Amino acid sequence: QVQLVESGGGLVQAGGSLRLPCAASGRTFSNYALAWFRQAPGKEREFVATISPSGTNTYYGQSAKGRFTISRDNSKNTLYLQMNTLLVEDTALYLCAAKGGLGSNSGSQYEYWGLGTQVTVSS
């Protein structure tokens, strides 16, 4: 089992920045690919970014490219999402997820999920 707990969400003005940590506990953190997804009210869950177990490889969804950065610190068992130049349409519940093996942009591939942290961007 891997337990994931997101934090760092809140209310921010458009154009601002937020950094979301996701703390993990349980099995060996460095064995898992990790990802961020988000879900806005009335919309389907959307892939944001994924990172390989070592942190060497990253892949971003279209909405995150150029503005968001995914990273991880395996010594601290923590995943991060740095979000810059936030837009109103970035408002969503942000969730972190873990899976064995390679990362994926498909949520159905992930075995473990956190409960999420709410990000609200005001105009």
b (16+ CB within 10 A) / e for 77-98: bbbbbebeebeeebbbbbbbbb
Q: Indicate if the pLDDT at residue 107 is higher than 90.
A: yes
Residues 18-52: tens digit of each pLDDT: 999 999 987 788 899 999 999 999 999 999 999 99
Is pLDDT above 80 for 89?
A: yes
The overall average pLDDT reported for the chain is 96
Taking a C-beta distance cutoff of 8 angstroms, is the pair 62, 76 a contact? no
- The SS3 of residue 92 is strand
